[in-house]
Amino acid sequence: MARTELLIVDDHEIVREGLRLLLDGEPDLRVVGEAADGEAGAAAAARLQPALVLLDMSMAGLGGAAAIARVRERCPSARVLVLSMNEDARYVRAALAAGADGYVAKRSGGATLVRAVRAVAAGERFLDPALPQLAPEDPTSDLSAREREVAALIARGHTGPNIARTLGISKSSVDTYRARVLNKLGASSRAELIERLDKQVPR
């Protein structure tokens, strides 16, 4: 049986030892390396090319989202699973935004961690059931009042000149606001923008 190779990144040696014992005890898992911070973890990931990096969210030195991003940069093929004491939704969101594929609370049992490792290694996203429910974020929350007005009119199918007349602004201003909305919502085309606005902006 091929074993999934893992790298453990945590700044507490006793935690790394315990995780190695737990994971190496599984027939389909094998720990191939350890590191004490995000910088060392990224270097080890680049050298070892593990299938999965198990990483603490809060570490001395480089930690948190920066550590996740560095690991992903140095070893793009590796999946990243966060194991952390921080269960606040803000930490979970930051980890996922930085490129993590899963998040497990340290207070959860070994069975949950092993299940998470297998799920993430298989290409799935895993969020520990012990974590708070993540409410979907409204991507339009960063838009200014004027940008939201323009966005709402775009969602209703209005053209640029139409929007300019409705709001009493110039067509070039409409184009500027539309470009800002596209950028803030991460849309690359007008069709994609309308699709997102259709879900988020009141019609």
CA distances from 18 to 15, 25, 67 (A): 5, 11, 21
Q: Say which CATH topology domain 4-127 has.
A: Rossmann fold (3.40.50)
CATH code linked to domain 139-200: 1.10.10.10
Instruction: In whole angstroms, give the CA distance from residue 140 to residue 158.
Output: 19
Low-confidence ranges of the chain (pLDDT < 70): 1, 134-142, 190, 194, 196-203
Please state the domain extents for the chain.
4-127, 139-200
The predicted-structure confidence for 49-71, as pLDDT tens digits, reads as follows 999 999 998 888 887 888 999 99
Instruction: In whole angstroms, give the CA distance from residue 137 to residue 72.
Output: 24
The predicted-structure confidence for 105-138, as pLDDT tens digits, reads as follows 999 999 999 999 999 999 999 999 988 776 555 6
